[in-house]
Amino acid sequence: MSGALHLEITASSIERAHADLAAVWIFCDERPLQGNSGRVDWRLCGRLSALVTGQRLHGEPGEAALVATSGGLSVPWLLVVGAGPREAFDARRFEEVVCDAVGRAAALQARTLALSLPDDRVGKAAQERRARALLTGAAAGLASFGRGAELHLRLLVAGEDASYTAELLRRARPARLPGEVALRLPGAAAAVSA
């Protein structure tokens, strides 16, 4: 087994997430920052925008920055991952972003990582592809770090979306995962494994 990835669905916003580390992504062609990255930027008094305008972060795939939140968020550290152009952000790119974030969180020896599904509204088929991409990307990111790694991934959703998201993840289970993925839900636990 390459590691243990525990997935927990949490009714919380990125600003109020409780974890060692939270992850957001930014697009190379979206200014000002939008969605979770925009809200986090506001809570951090423009620190992400300063990284972008100072040319230290562009939003290209493979880019990342670790930012101390200094009390602006509930988490002590924020991982900002480049996602490339907004138009190219499909399930495959989301899988790559999740893989990158989880691999970096494991390398930082974080025990818990909080992140959200993309916050744009898409159809049911696209939601299932994203859920599959989340599971595949997270498992691959943890497996790339090495044997014996363990990470608790807190998937942040709006309270009313928790049950739907849990069912979506159960249905979207990929055929093969490198290692074991345990899906923990409030009041119950179900293991999803390859």
At position 142, the amino acid (one-letter code) is: L
Q: Report angle CA 29, 69, 153 to the nearest 5 degrees.
A: 80
Q: What is the pLDDT of residues 4-54, one digit of tens each?
A: 888 888 889 999 999 999 999 999 999 999 999 999 999 999 999 999 999
Q: How far apart are CA 169 and CA 135, in angstroms?
A: 8
Output the pTM of the full model: 0.88
In order of start, what are the domains of the chain with their CATH numbers? 3-193 (3.40.220.10)
What's the pLDDT band for 121 if we cut at 50, 70, 90?
low
Q: How far apart are CA 181 and CA 184, in angstroms?
A: 10
Residue whose C-alpha is closest to residue 36's, from 7, 79, 65? 79
Tokens of 194: 């390859």
Residue whose C-alpha is closest to residue 184's, from 27, 51, 10, 13? 10
Q: How high is the pLDDT of residue 142?
A: 87
Quick check: 149 pLDDT over 90? no
